[in-house]
Amino acid sequence: MNSNEFDVIILGTGPAGLQAAIHAVRSKASVLVLGKQHKSSLYRAHIENYCCLSKIDGETLLQDGRKQAEHFGATFLDEDAVEIKQQDSWFQLKVESGKEIQCRTLIFALGVSRNKLNVRGEKELLGRGVSYCVDCDANFYRDEPVAVAGSESAALTGALTLLFYTKEVHLVCSNLEATEALAKQIRESPIHLHEGRKVKQILGESAVEGLLLDDGTTLNVKGVFIELGAKGAIELAGTLGVAMDPESFKYIVTNKKQETNVPGVYAAGDITGPPWQMAIAVGQGCV
């Protein structure tokens, strides 16, 4: 096998990809991990809800995972794949620099891209009051005023979950795009509902200090949870004929062995659909 051929190529450097690399290389496979680590949604996260790790930041966890995989013999290439095609039993990939590589087993662990508000302060305050995961970060805002931005079920259930942590929860939504029962639960709860409103700006310098709405209202909150859904990085998988979920066509469909409908192609982590949790991604990477 030459330097451009691998038993396994893994697309993605998040928890699922790193765990898959560790497992594969320890089974004596030659493994290449493709991707830029800072693209992982975990990169700027603060983690307290992962077993055996009392507290760690996402960047450190990802760096430690990479070092562990490299220790066992995995190779990393900090480039993204731009083209994939299948030739007989080989998957042939081209990366950004033009380099061509191939493998017999391909694992998609590219995660998802969270849908953004695209307002001032969102990017600047990510990890400092701005979050895309209520289940992950709610505990950081215990007894602090918080807001949730979003109209769909995930936003509504997230707002209800936050009531277990704090008494002041705001829900900013264009409308309640959920079941009648869930919408009724929101209206009958202590949640401050700002229906028909949009977030214009997230306020703060070094941390979130408030929200400015499109009607000029300012909400004095310390945390903002953006629950607008997500989309998977599925374009490359689609070129191979990998099956997507029939409802949204945003996520890759797998069986319990993380196999897709294309022999030799697997998927793990957030790209296989919600719920999006690091522990689930790591578990799927083990398979």
pLDDT at 166: 97
- Examine the domain organization and report whether 271 and 194 are in the same domain: no
- Examine the domain organization and report whether 125 and 197 are in the same domain: yes
Which pTM does this prediction carry?
Answer: 0.77
- Examine the domain organization and report whether 107 and 240 are in the same domain: yes
Q: Which helix (H) or strand (E) holds 160?
A: helix 153-162
pLDDT at 130: 95
Domain count, the chain: 2
Question: Of 182, 210, 226, which residue sits at a domain end?
Answer: 226
- Examine the domain organization and report whether 134 and 175 are in the same domain: yes
Question: Of 191, 209, 226, which residue sits at a domain end?
Answer: 226
Q: Which helix (H) or strand (E) holds 70?
A: helix 58-72
Which ranges of the chain have pLDDT less than 70? 1-2, 38-41, 43-44, 232
- In DSSP terms, 211 is beta-bridged to 202, 219
pLDDT at 256: 96
Residue 18: count of CB within 10 angstroms of its CB: 30
Print the domain residue range for 135: 116-226
Distant-in-sequence contacts of 260-265, Cβ < 8 A, 24+ apart = 260/108, 262/86, 264/89, 264/91, 264/104, 264/105, 264/106, 265/91, 265/105, 265/106, 265/107, 265/108, 265/237, 265/240
- Examine the domain organization and report whether 144 and 204 are in the same domain: yes
What count of Cα atoms within 13 Å lies in the side-chain half-sphere of residue 228?
Answer: 15
Question: Of 226, 249, 266, which residue sits at a domain end?
Answer: 226
Q: Give the tens place of pLDDT for each residue, 145-191.
A: 999 999 888 899 999 999 999 999 999 998 888 888 999 999 999 99
pLDDT at 41: 65
